[in-house]
Amino acid sequence: MNPTLQSKTSVMHAIRDLRWESRQVPSPGPLEVRVKIARVGVCGSDLHYYTHGRIGNFIVERPIVLGHEVSGTVEAIGEGVTRHKVGDRVALEPGVPCRRCEYCKRGEYNLCPAMHFMATPPADGALSEYLNWPEDFACGIPDHISLEAAALLEPLAVGVWAAKRGEVKMGHSVVVLGAGPIGCTTLQAAKAAGATTLIAVDLEPFRLEMARKVGATHVINARQEDVLERIRDITTRSGLPRSHAGVDVAFETAGSVATCRMAIAAPRPGGVTVLVGLPPDPLVPLDIVSAASRETQIRGLFRYANCYPAALALVASGAVDLDVLITQRYKFADTQAALEFADRDKTTSVKVMLEFD
């Protein structure tokens, strides 16, 4: 076995400046696998870094490799690897914690202060032909699941964690504010958890139609309707005043100031708001008096923990369809064109996928 491989890599040097480089990939270390990358999904966070160079306090200060929704095939294994063998198809969970701190030991490893997360400065991501990764964060994929769906286990893991954070139960009503990839995976996770009234809100008819395909029972075009009034129309309960209408759980997945405010106002008294998206402005004016008097439970969300097994089970069983979310495919050689398209065209796209030869 060659001690190193030359891996063609797409490296972001500055805003909208991607350059091809050849980087060495050493043999996998102990408990590591070397993966030949097959698919990488273009995520909203990739676009934020590509177009703005930062997300909040995560700032691109040196060249970085983007991409964290990734699947591929095990090409080599390091010493002590027992979970995988050469030829196995895997999805890579992109966040690797320290495994030693109190958060990791409580199972809250998404909050680990030493988290290494693909394509989050200063860590590099997966837009490269080969990548070494810890075997315990490589999830084996059965043959009947496509490599595209395997890559999208990552956004589905966000949706699974959102449904858990919202404590979605059988018979619940939910609204997803933003029908992009995260909104659609959150909708499907909520449906799998038992929600029966599933409302999707967006500005784009194409994305609302996608939400309907994956299980939305109601869709609301925010350009054409008063979102909160329409939610009250759908959720008014017999014997209760309209003031007590609202969903059991509201998910903010668009990452805008407007949808953050809607997400606080949308639940019924005693309902839950889960903040999944990250707005560009961290300061959002909110009606705190209303939220307090209605006992709205506001819950944050940061990535996920221990969700890949559940996400895989949902896809393997057919309860969740990830392949349908892929609306455009680009070759790895056309990475920059893929990012430019995903940035400018929200009217005819949901998920853009990069295919490696």
Whole-angstrom Cα distance, residue 171 to residue 341?
39
Distance CA 248, CA 198 (A): 11
CATH 3.40.50.720 in the chain, residue ranges: 156-300
- Closest Cα to residue 278, out of 164, 120, 152, 149? 120
pTM, full prediction: 0.96
Neighbours of 279 (CB within 10 A): 18
The model's pLDDT over 29-65, given as tens digits with 9 standing for 90+, comes to: 999 999 999 999 999 999 999 999 998 888 999 999 9
pLDDT in tens, 128-180: 999 999 999 999 999 999 999 999 999 999 999 999 999 999 999 999 999 99
Q: What is the pLDDT of residues 71-91, one digit of tens each?
A: 999 999 999 999 999 999 999
Distance (Å, rounded) from C-alpha 24 to C-alpha 204? 43
Q: 4-152+322-355, superfamily in CATH? A: Medium-chain alcohol dehydrogenases, catalytic domain (3.90.180.10)
| 240-252 pLDDT, tens digit each | 999 999 999 999 9
Sheet containing strand 247-252, strands side by side: 218-221, 197-202, 173-177, 247-252, 267-275, 297-300
Rounded mean pLDDT, 107-116: 97
**pLDDT at residue number 1:** 47
Question: In which residue ranges of the chain is CATH 3.90.180.10 found?
Answer: 4-152+322-355
SS (H, E, C) 262-323: HHHHCEEEEEEEEECCCCCCCCCCCCHHHHHHCCCEEEECCCCCCCHHHHHHHHHHCCCCCH
Architecture of the domain whose range is 156-300: 3-Layer(aba) Sandwich (3.40)
Predicted confidence (pLDDT) per residue in 263-292, tens digit: 999 999 999 999 999 887 788 888 999 999
